[in-house]
Structure 1
Amino acid sequence: MTIDNADNKAQKRRKVRAILASGLVLGVGAAVTLAAWNDSVWGNAEFGTGANTWNVQGDFGGGFNEYIENPGGSMIFTPGFDNLAPGQTVASVVGLRETGSNLDAIVSLQRATDPAGAADGVSKSNLDETLLLKVTDMGATKGACTDTQQTGAVLTSAGATVSNGTFANLTVPKGTERWLCFAVTLPNNLNPSTLSKSVSAAWEFQAVSAEPVATP
């Protein structure tokens, strides 16, 4: 019995050694085989800012142009803008367009400023706080914009004046035009002797590019 047990233990040790040896051989063989399967894949990309692919221009009656500095393009109002009477309205058409055809433009009208660049608003005049401003959106096609007719959605707030009339987030789709009508009214029941005789105003249309729409 003792001899048999000794023989059995010896056989088990031999089997273990054989299995381990076999495993070592397989391990070496596998390492050699895997070394022959090495492979590489490369990917590259180039990034940019899209320079010269997005741009907004304005048309104030003389054709589309850049007008990037104050006072910009001269707005052409209907006759009488320089000799207003109480209750009278004058109007001017304004065009905006995005020329890059890549991204929409989001446009906001800022408070009027002095065309001469003064830092105190429109000018030292009470007329800018008296004249009422109504800006209507005529859409992609130039529509009616006269002293008696302005068609489209009103963009300015009720009771807006030349000095504080603003609007925000008007979309000009990429590669298209958007037309606005500026109507200025001198209200009735005023005492002309209390008003300044003239006022000058420059409006800035601030535009930013819209976020690109992700495609599925």
Structure 2
Amino acid sequence: MTSAPARTERSRTDGPAEPHRRRRMALALAAGGLVLGVGAIVTLAVWNDSEFATGTFGAGSFDLQGSTDGAAFTSDAAAPGKTLTFTLDADTLAPDDVVYAPFAVQLSDTSTNEAAVTIENVIGGTIGDDLTYSLFIEDDFGATCSAATPPAGAEVVADRAADATGTVDVFDLTAAGEPVSLCFVVTAGAIGQGEAGTITWEFAGTSGDTLP
């Protein structure tokens, strides 16, 4: 009777093979999972660009200048300012006397804006209560500003009491370095002997449009 083939027995040395294989697969899966995890947190890089714009700003300016001779112009921003030269001796007035004095106003060459000009008068002493004045715009400095050749231009102030308060609009300056020639006409009223005093005129400008 033929006996069945002997069953091959796995040696003890082969026993750990299956656990070892499973361990390697687990490590491989773990490694694979680690790789997948890294891939999940990676984001695509993007390009960035910026554009900037800057504005530079500054303030314009204007400067009123005056002249008593029509040639030399300077700024006097505080009273008493320049001294007007009248055609007659204004310090020996009698009632009804009329005296004349030329003056000019302009914007300095460095001005950047037009100016609307006003005038205000302030008296000092006692004689101012009995004085009035008018102001004319003339074509040429001093040419028509005397008793012999009285002003013929536009009268921008008419017989204003020297002790009146407030301002009067007189003219606009619309170009730098181009003077406006003026003529002050002061008339004495019922002044008393020995009275004396002053009238201080302030030309004030308010900025307007930018000069061309």
Bin of the TM-score, shorter chain as denominator length: 0.5 to 0.7
- 1:102 is aligned to 2:112: yes
Contact kept, 8 Å, 2:157 with 2:170, in 1: the verdict is no
Residues 1:201 and 2:173 aligned together: no
The alpha-carbon distance between structure 1 residues 145 and 90, as it changes in their structure 2 partners (threshold 3 A), is same
Identify unmatched segments of 5+ residues in structure 1. Answer: 1-31, 113-121
In structure 1, how many angstroms separate the alpha carbons of the residues matched to 2:187 and 2:170? 25
Equivalent residue pairs, number:
164
When normalised by structure 1's length, the TM-score is 0.65
Matched-pair contact (CA < 8 Å) for 1:59–1:65: yes
Separation in 2, partners of 1:195, 1:160:
22
Alignment CA distance shift 1:169-1:209 (3 Å):
farther
Identity over the aligned pairs, expressed in percent? 22
- Deviation at 1:200? 1.3
Distance 1:101 1:73 in 2: 21
Structure-1 separation of matches of 2:121 and 2:147: 22
Which has the greater radius of gyration?
2
**TM-score (norm: length of structure 2):** 0.66
Per-residue CA deviation, residues 38-96 of structure 1 (Å, 9 max, x unaligned), is 6543221111113xx52211112382111122111111111221112233211111111
Query: Cα RMSD (Å) of the superposition?
Result: 2.8
Q: In the aligned structure 2, how far is the partner of 1:45 from the partner of 1:138?
A: 44
Alpha-carbon distance between aligned partners in 1 of 2:208 and 2:193, rounded to the nearest angstrom:
42
1:130 is aligned to 2:130: yes
Contact 1:105 1:174 in 2 (8 A): no
Distance in structure 1 (CA, Å) of the matches to 2:162 and 2:179: 24
Of 68, 93, 99 in structure 1, the residue corresponding to residue 102 of structure 2 is 93
Closer, same or farther: CA 210–169 of 1 in aligned 2, 3 Å? farther
Does the 8 A contact of 1:58 with 1:64 survive in 2? yes
Equivalent residue for 1:182? 184
Contact 1:94–1:179 (Cα < 8 Å) also in 2:
yes
Q: Does 1:54 align with 2:62?
A: yes
Alignment of 1:4-43 (within 5 A): 40-43=50-53
CA deviation after TM superposition for structure 1 residue 172, in Å: 1.3
Runs of 4+ off more than 6 Å: none
CA distance in 2 between partners of 1:123 and 1:206 (Å): 20
What does residue 82 of structure 1 align with? Answer: 91
Residues 138 and 153, structure 2, Cα contact 8 Å, conserved in 1: yes
Work out whether residues 102 and 174 of structure 1, in 8 Å CA contact, stay in contact via their aligned partners in 2.
no
Question: Amino acid of the residue matched to residue 200 of structure 1?
Answer: T
Gaps of 5+ in 2: 1-43
Task: Name the counterpart of 2:174.
Answer: 173
Q: Matched residues in 1 for 2:111 and 2:78: separation?
A: 23
In 1, distance between residues paired with 2:170 and 2:161? 19
Residue from 121, 127, 130 that aligns with 1:111: 121
Higher strand share: 2
Contact residue 110 and residue 167 of structure 1 kept, 8 A: yes
Equivalent AA in structure 2 for residue 182 of structure 1 = F
CA contact (8 A) 1:107 1:207 kept: yes
Structure 2 counterpart of 1:181, one-letter code: C
Instruction: Spell out, residue by residue over 1:166-206, the C-alpha distance to the aligned partner (whole angstroms, 9 max, x if none).
Output: 5215201221211111011124xx4x5x4652111211111
